[in-house]
Amino acid sequence: MREDRSDMSEDDERASPSDLSLATEASSNKSRSCSVSGGGGGEYVSPYPDQVLENVLENVLLFLTSRHDRNAASLVCKSWYRVEALTRSEVFIGNCYAVSPRRVIERFGQVRSVTLKGKPRFADFNLMPPTWGANLTPWVTAMGESRCSLEKLHLKRMSVTDEDLKILAHSFPSFKELVLVCCDGFSTSGLAVIACKCRKLQVLDLTDDEVADDEVDWISCFPEGETCLESLIFDCIECPINFEALERLVARSPSLKKLSLNRYVSIAQLYHLMIQAPHLTHLGTGSFSPSEIVAPGDQELDYVSAFAASRSLVCLSGFREIIPDYLPVIYPVCPNLTCLNFSYANINAEQLRSVIRFCHKLQIFWVLDSVCDEGLQAVAATCKDLRELRVFPIDASEDSESPVTDVGFRAISEGCRKLQSILYFCQRMTNAAVIAMSKNCPDLVVFRLCIMGRHRPDHITGESMDEGFGAIVKNCKKLTRLAISGLLTDRAFNYIGQYGKLVRTLSVAFAGNSDMGLKYVLEGCPMLQKLEIRDSPFGDSGLLSGLHHYYNMRFLWMSACRLTRQGCKQIAQQMPRLVVEVINGDAEEEEKDDYVDILYMYRSLEEPRGDAPKFVTIL
């Protein structure tokens, strides 16, 4: 069992069980001395040989920017461990309960950038009670009290309060960057404090957050005079903003490169902002519709010229309440786009075709399934350099009729052979189309096929989808993330265990026959870090087959499976450094039987958390 002394701060796929309390005793330094022969035959020994070498090492480690390389360096010996900690300025924590704030601060005293993740991904699908935890408060309080020189904070699926944001704003005078993704618990009042007090702020990015509107004009709180803003993203805020204040803010932010607006900003207002900031590289358009109908005879703004002047634009998103008649105004920037996000734009195939025919440089494309197979065929015909595709459903219900099928899927595989990542929602798929994808796009790193509806087979042959997913893990040698769905037997899991040697993240829904399926994966995927399973027939036997591997994983999530409380207790008893949480899906519902609704297990260097709500039992 290898000890990884940097595990607490990293999402390293090579990570093994670790305990930082033992780290300083894990290795010993060989004595080092510098000797010089003197005239009298004596020998001079430097009184501080280790200090000299550590000074040299410190200068060397400053050139290591990859956290994985730094992890490896910290494992060499105690001296390297100590110096690496002193020189690390960026810390990544994949689970906020895997380590305490105190331990992080004591080890990394010079930290300037922290990335912190909270709830597991299935929380995005309302599979976890909202009051489960992942509170920022203990972290921001500890960092504030330590007086560290924090400049950047990136949070994902954390519960953030306005008080947390106040502490952040008041404790770190050099704070520059706040990125919140899928976070909740705060309001426009908290944003106002950040805007007002963080005078060196360069980045304020809010993505898919739930922000309460308490009618505070936070945009007006940015200081007067020239700002340092480089990125301002607030498209998720569901309340009107003070546009005049926003226009003034953009005008006095000469370094602004990224701007993403919410749906309360009309296309006419967008025009005025673009005139103020023609140097933008990333733009979220807001609603992309007029706030009111243009009266006959009135002169419409020259939107085409505004986009034509934005010669640096490479990424375009937004289109939240799009009127397709305005799509032609973006034609001038299309030839330079490398990223286009239409995931909020309800457009059809013909409307997409009119835009995509200009996008020959496109590498990232997100779109709704309203474009149908014909729209995807147009993408395949034009975007030969495409690396990432995401196709989202307008209607995600199980009984809906998705307008994209295996036809569009296969067209993408044949036309976009540089594809590295795909997320594809559909209702109908075939093994033949998936096998074609595995052969045409062997560089796939991420493959997520979500066949909506339970246990759907190959819609032509009626067979399970085993061979399709088997081909993906066989032929795509670089695959690290896989999501499977449809009618799948244990044979598909056997393929994953046999060929998915680099898979780090596996998501499973409504799949498998028996515990053997889970056993194949746990025994066959040595790099597995994150395993998410819902509504599948796996029970205690399958769970216990992973005892050899759970310390190497970041977490295991199982909901609506066939686990019993006794089986979960066995895991907790045999693996004391693993936190085993049993969650009642309904916070008000009492236990009815021995079966477990949700199991969430994760490795941790600390004692079980003290903020668990009543519906969480830590075994």
HEC assignment per residue over 436-489:
HHHHHCCCCCEEEEEECCCCCCCCCCCCCCHHHHHHHHHHCCCCCEEEECCCCC
The answer to the question of residue 131 being in a domain is no
Per-residue confidence band for 294, with pLDDT thresholds at 50, 70 and 90: low
The answer to the question of residue 234 being in a domain is no
For the chain, what is the total number of helices (H) and then of strands (E)? 19, 25
| CA 438/CA 314 separation, integer angstroms | 29
For residues 321 and 297, is the Cβ–Cβ distance under 8 A?
Answer: no
| CA 183/CA 236 separation, integer angstroms | 11
Q: Compute the average pLDDT of residues 425-451.
A: 97
Helical pair 372-382 and 349-356, crossing angle rounded to 10 deg:
10
Provide the 3-class DSSP secondary structure of residue 289. coil
The answer to the question of residue 403 being in a domain is no
Q: Compute the average pLDDT of residues 187-213.
A: 97
Sequence-distant (6+) residues with CB within 8 A of 2 are: 16, 17
Partners of 448 in beta bridges: 423, 483
The whole-number pLDDT of residue 61 equals 74
Q: Is the pLDDT score of 27 beyond 50?
A: no
Q: Is the pLDDT score of 161 beyond 90?
A: yes
Between CA 223 and CA 89, with CA 207 as vertex, the angle to 5 degrees is 70
Which of residues 66, 86, 106 is at a domain's end?
86
| CA 93/CA 95 separation, integer angstroms | 6
Q: Which of 12-16, 232-236, 485-489 is predicted with the least confidence, judged by mean pLDDT?
A: 12-16
Backbone angles phi, psi at 141, to 5 degrees: -65, -45
Per-residue confidence band for 343, with pLDDT thresholds at 50, 70 and 90: very high
Which of residues 32, 65, 86 is at a domain's end?
86
The whole-number pLDDT of residue 40 equals 41
| CA 332/CA 306 separation, integer angstroms | 9
Q: Is the pLDDT score of 318 beyond 80?
A: yes
Q: Compute the average pLDDT of residues 483-507.
A: 97
Residue 78, domain CATH: 1.20.1280.50
Provide the 3-class DSSP secondary structure of residue 447. strand
Residue 456, domain CATH: 3.80.10.10
Q: Comparing C-alpha atoms, which of 58, 3, 47, 53 is closest to residue 27?
A: 3
Q: How many CA atoms lie within 13 A of 374 on its CB side?
A: 10
Query: In this predicted model, what pLDDT tens digit does every residue of 403-424 receive, in sequence order?
Result: 999 999 999 999 999 999 999 9
Q: Is the pLDDT score of 36 beyond 60?
A: no
Which of residues 25, 59, 86 is at a domain's end?
86
The whole-number pLDDT of residue 52 equals 58
Query: In this predicted model, what pLDDT tens digit does every residue of 447-467 receive, in sequence order?
Result: 999 999 899 999 999 999 999
Q: Comparing C-alpha atoms, which of 369, 304, 360, 363 is closest to residue 342?
A: 369
| pTM for this entry | 0.89
The answer to the question of residue 107 being in a domain is no
| CA 98/CA 467 separation, integer angstroms | 37
- Number of domains into which the chain is organized: 2
Between CA 555 and CA 565, with CA 559 as vertex, the angle to 5 degrees is 85
Task: Read off the amino acid at residue 77.
Answer: C
Q: Is the pLDDT score of 39 beyond 60?
A: no
The answer to the question of residue 256 being in a domain is no
Q: Compute the average pLDDT of residues 395-400.
A: 82
The larger pLDDT score, comparing residue 459 to residue 22, is at: 459
The whole-number pLDDT of residue 24 equals 32
Kindly give the residue spans of alpha helices, DSSP state H, lying in 476-609: 490-499, 515-524, 540-544, 565-574
Q: Compute the average pLDDT of residues 281-293.
A: 88
Q: Comparing C-alpha atoms, which of 134, 99, 139 is closest to residue 605?
A: 99
What is the chain's mean pLDDT, rounded? 88
Q: Compute the average pLDDT of residues 508-517.
A: 95
Between CA 492 and CA 502, with CA 496 as vertex, the angle to 5 degrees is 160
The whole-number pLDDT of residue 21 equals 32
Range of the domain at 80: 50-86
The answer to the question of residue 474 being in a domain is yes
Q: Is the pLDDT score of 162 beyond 90?
A: yes
For residues 547 and 571, is the Cβ–Cβ distance under 8 A?
Answer: yes
Burial class of residue 299, CB neighbours in 10 A (0-12, 13-18, 19+): exposed
Q: Which of 25-39, 263-277, 561-575 is predicted with the least confidence, judged by mean pLDDT?
A: 25-39
Per-residue confidence band for 592, with pLDDT thresholds at 50, 70 and 90: low
Q: Is the pLDDT score of 126 beyond 90?
A: no
Between CA 119 and CA 360, with CA 445 as vertex, the angle to 5 degrees is 110
Q: Compute the average pLDDT of residues 572-589.
A: 82
Partners of 365 in beta bridges: 340, 389
Q: Is the pLDDT score of 468 beyond 80?
A: yes
The answer to the question of residue 314 being in a domain is no
The answer to the question of residue 479 being in a domain is yes
